[in-house]
Amino acid sequence: MKKYIYILLTGLLVSSSGCNDDEFLDKEPTNILLDEQVWNDETLVLSVLGNLYLRFPDLQSTESWAEYANFDEAFASAAGDYWRHQNSDYGYDSWRMWDYGYIREINLFMQKCEASTGISDAAKERFLAEARFIRAGVYFEHVKRMGGVPLILEPLTYDYSGDPSYLQHPRAKEYEVYDFVIKELEEIKSILPADVNDKARATKGAALAMEARAALYAASIAKYGASTPQVSLPGGEVGIPADMATGYYQKALSAAQEVMTLGYSLYQTKPDLGENFASIFYDKANPEAIWVEDFKLRSGRTVGFTVDNQPRYLSEEQQGGRLNPTLNLVQEFERLDNTFAPLPIMDASGNLIHYSNPADLFAGRDARLYGTVILPGTQFKGNGVDIWAGYMRPNGNIITSGNIGGQADLNGDGNNEQVVGFSGPINGLEFTAQTGFYIRKYLDPQKGSGQIGTRSEVWWIRYRYAEVLLNAAEAAFELGQTEVAAGYMNQVRARAGLTEPLTAADITFDRIVHERKVELAFEGHQLFDMKRWRLAHVVWNGNRMTVSDLTSNIGKANKVSTMPFGLWPYKYLADPNNPTNNDWVFQIVIPNPVTNPDRFRLGNYYSEIDNGTISSNPLIVRQPNQ
């Protein structure tokens, strides 16, 4: 009996406490923020937006150093990346992008921000414009890689009806995507603040700089696409009609010219022009940067580019030196009299030329060479870099070692001497300068930047003023205004120490291509530039190269450059009393891990769309030539 009473009492207790408290099941969660909390607080909306900024894609950047080694700018001195020099062609799916998850979240952001009532109109307007800026940038990134993609401008939601066909959208024409990007940026430019000191968020300058670049891309695809008629689709998803080129060039020029009125200027702070060029990328008191991805020490948002790529000698970790710029790039930096020439390592009769200092070989060239590349005989963080491959005897025999800073008995006295640099180069040994060069651009000279535990807060500049000038120069050149083009180009060149101005007659397509190559190396432009000029299959044509292929046609747009070459310095070991003893001599090499030339096929111009995407959406047409 007592038992029944207990049971009854328990039942009563459960029902009474359970029933009369609806709030029990309606508690506010403590671990997530609800929509009404987020969208009524400007700080929280800003952090949602911050997440969208954070996910903005870059193919090559300081966060993905190895991507530079896919082409002829650099060699990857890291065992796990040698394959980049050993593959016989690029996969059709390389550089693919189909990120509709990201686009959906941007669209959702806009929808919810629009509906929000708890934030001020001014803040809302700016947030919305920023989201549109990011969305335009993401569509630009898609169209660069994939051609026309479906333009989805609102969040799509499945209704579970069993018929998803209303969610299936066909690909837009390639020019429609470019038009969308240009139109959006044109519309938001006056909503965004015109503050030249705001670099990490979208500004008027950033919108216009992106517009200029996008219009220039569309223009050159329209113009140079005519040379590769196979790279097109009948529906216009790939390829832009040639008669649209002029209109896009005009848009590019006027957008770039509008950026010039905003107050940006070229970074000219340090008296040493090479050092000045290197500082553009790490000095944040910078009138040149327009839109950047920023990093900050001790904030969780730091970048490891310096850890990965610092010179191996005296590096702050037992690593570094991964990215080795190639001789192909180094020799493109022209001489101060505006002429091109291979580096003088041999005289006309085939004898090696001697230098008393390895850096002398590179003297009298464009200051951007020093600012982009760590050359043998120069310094980083106040230390030498110790790049030398060994001793060379007068008969050509070489004494070297397989370890960094390795020793051998040089003169038979029973004592060992160092016979190779602490940064190499040693064939096949990762982290040594296997091309004879290390990268300087974007390396952080701050103490500790090379430590895994500290890393660096150097930002990644997506848009800078010099590129805007070069975009304007290219558009003006294509529109026949060579005088105007020369003016813009000379500004950029003068900053690099090329003070003898180019005349209007000097401006050729080769010059345009070359200037971007040296000014914008390691800034993520190369692949997309080569694609839009339809030069990629010419320059990376899969032909094996010889040294004479390398040293000819320097400064030409269609120069074949399929394999990364290096230049190794040797100390000359003559008789100790001979004045040439300990001189420096140089040899052109191909690092051992390089086994295959780069081959860019016509099917690589637009990355393959995943078969799963095509299977689930029959409206998507395949890319040409795959």
Partner 1 sequence: MKNIYLLLWFALGIGITSCEFDNYEEPESKLQGRIVYNGEPINVGYNDVIMQLWEPGWQLKGAINVSVDQDGSYSAVLFNAPYKLVIQPFQGPFRSIKNEVTQSDTILVDLKSNQTLDIEVMPYYMIRNIQISKAGSDVTANFGLEKIITDANAKNVENVTLYINKTTFVDRSNNIATKELNGADITDMNNVSMSVTVPALNTAQNYVFARIGVRIAGVEDMLYSPIQKIQL
Binding site for partner 1 (CB under 8 A): 88-89, 230, 537, 541-544, 596-597, 599, 601-603, 611-612, 614-615, 624-626
Q: What are phi and psi of 244, to 5 degrees?
A: -90, -5
CA distance 1 to 7: 10
Question: b/e string for 572-598 if b means 16 or more Cβ within 10 A?
Answer: bbeeeeeeeeebbbbbbbbbebbebbb
Closest CA to 392 of 244, 587, 555: 587
Whichever of 403 and 541 has its CB closer to partner 1, that residue is 541
CB of 173 to partner 1, least distance (A): 21
Whichever of 88 and 383 has its CB closer to partner 1, that residue is 88
CB of 428 to partner 1, least distance (A): 16
CB of 555 to partner 1, least distance (A): 21
CB of 343 to partner 1, least distance (A): 23
Please check whether residue 109 is in contact with residue 51, taking contact to mean a CB–CB distance below 8 angstroms: no
Whichever of 376 and 624 has its CB closer to partner 1, that residue is 624
* Alpha carbons within 13 A on the beta-carbon side of 94: 19
**H helices present in 479-617, as ranges:** 482-495, 509-519, 526-532, 536-539, 547-551, 611-616
Whichever of 279 and 553 has its CB closer to partner 1, that residue is 553
Whichever of 164 and 263 has its CB closer to partner 1, that residue is 164
Q: How far is CA 143 from CA 214, 435, 468, 470, in A?
A: 10, 34, 20, 22
What SS3 string covers 163-198? CHHHHCCCCCCHHHHHHHHHHHHHHHCCCCCCCCCC
Q: Residue 105 is inside which H or E element, if any?
A: helix 100-115
Look up residue 118 and give its DSSP letter. Answer: S
Order across the sheet with 398-399: list the strands.
398-399, 390-392, 566-572, 584-589
CB of 561 to partner 1, least distance (A): 14
Closest CA to 430 of 153, 165, 159, 66: 66
CB of 480 to partner 1, least distance (A): 28
CB of 165 to partner 1, least distance (A): 16
CB of 143 to partner 1, least distance (A): 22
* Alpha carbons within 13 A on the beta-carbon side of 53: 21
Please tell me whether the peptide bond between 229 and the residue prior to it is cis, using omega within 30 degrees of 0. Answer: no
* Alpha carbons within 13 A on the beta-carbon side of 12: 6
CB of 617 to partner 1, least distance (A): 11
Bridge-partner residues for 323, per DSSP? Answer: 76
What SS3 string covers 493-533? HHHCCCCCCCCHHHCCHHHHHHHHHHHCCCCCCHHHHHHHC
Whichever of 496 and 620 has its CB closer to partner 1, that residue is 620
CB of 598 to partner 1, least distance (A): 9
Whichever of 216 and 545 has its CB closer to partner 1, that residue is 545
CA distance 400 to 377: 18
Look up residue 79 and give its DSSP letter. Answer: G
Whichever of 64 and 595 has its CB closer to partner 1, that residue is 595
Whichever of 101 and 612 has its CB closer to partner 1, that residue is 612
How many other C-beta atoms are found inside a 10 Å radius of the C-beta of residue 514? 20
Q: How far is CA 281 from CA 164, 205, 531, in A?
A: 48, 18, 26
CB of 92 to partner 1, least distance (A): 10
Whichever of 320 and 591 has its CB closer to partner 1, that residue is 591
Whichever of 246 and 541 has its CB closer to partner 1, that residue is 541
CB of 585 to partner 1, least distance (A): 21
Whichever of 229 and 300 has its CB closer to partner 1, that residue is 229
Whichever of 16 and 227 has its CB closer to partner 1, that residue is 227
* Alpha carbons within 13 A on the beta-carbon side of 116: 27
Closest CA to 170 of 145, 146, 152, 144: 152
Whichever of 319 and 617 has its CB closer to partner 1, that residue is 617
Residues with Cβ < 8 Å from 451, sequence gap 6 or more?
Answer: 307, 316, 317
CB of 547 to partner 1, least distance (A): 12
Whichever of 437 and 600 has its CB closer to partner 1, that residue is 600
CB of 281 to partner 1, least distance (A): 35
CB of 602 to partner 1, least distance (A): 5
Q: What are phi and psi of 325, to 5 degrees?
A: -60, 150
CB of 597 to partner 1, least distance (A): 5
The alpha carbons of the chain give a radius of gyration, in whole angstroms, of 29
CA distance 95 to 90: 10
CA distance 557 to 554: 9
User: What are the structure tokens assigned to 232, written together?
Assistant: 């097109």
Helices (H) then strands (E): counts for the chain: 19, 14
Whichever of 351 and 615 has its CB closer to partner 1, that residue is 615
